[in-house]
Structure 1
């Protein structure tokens, strides 16, 4: 994790955007792998936000809990179209929020 904070958060947002794409395909194994990677990004990256960005760190912990929930229920949910759509919508919202949090959009 030698990237700077904006790059790390951008990578997390990109992972969640890949979850959105992959969740449209029934029984795809990649979704669970991407969720696992996203959890790891949060676990490793959140402490680097402290002490300056406590609110962002707390929000990432909340998002991490949601990702963990999806990680564990994905095997039972992956064949259900409605559940895949719920995950896609949630992952898109998280991705957008984290991308905004990263500050990468401000440099454009």
Structure 2
């Protein structure tokens, strides 16, 4: 990931709910971009960034929200699996569709976890 330290500094300035909302937004962008083979590099970048966002956010859920922290780590493992196979999967429409479906579910779950929807 380019400018990892700068991204970290900026990301950590926000509250935990906003950071989780940002992670959910990244996952929603994966859904949008994964349908277009021309955007494979964008998807790879978003997968990498999303993994970092989990790494930086999960510890802040502890000790009060252990289950949510564990779930984020599970999602990070899923993101890592996709990141590792993306070079091959990007050329397969069925694989891109599976990634989109999974990323949509993760995005919805993390948005709920963030509590931002409760603030409306």
TM-score by length of 1: 0.98
- Bigger relative contact order, structure 1 or 2, given CA contacts below 8 A and separation 6+? 1
Task: Confirm whether residue 78 of structure 1 aligns to residue 90 of structure 2.
Answer: yes
Q: CA deviation at 1:100?
A: 0.2
RMSD after superposition? 0.6
TM-score by length of 2: 0.88
Q: Say how many residue pairs are matched.
A: 108
Which residue, out of 19, 33, 36, partners 2:48?
Answer: 36
Structure 2: gaps of 5 or more residues: 1-11
Counterpart for residue 3 of structure 1: 14
2: CA distance between counterparts of 1:44 and 1:8?
A: 9
Show structure 1 runs of 4+ deviating over 3 A: none
2: CA distance between counterparts of 1:75 and 1:22?
A: 15
Counterpart for residue 14 of structure 1: 25
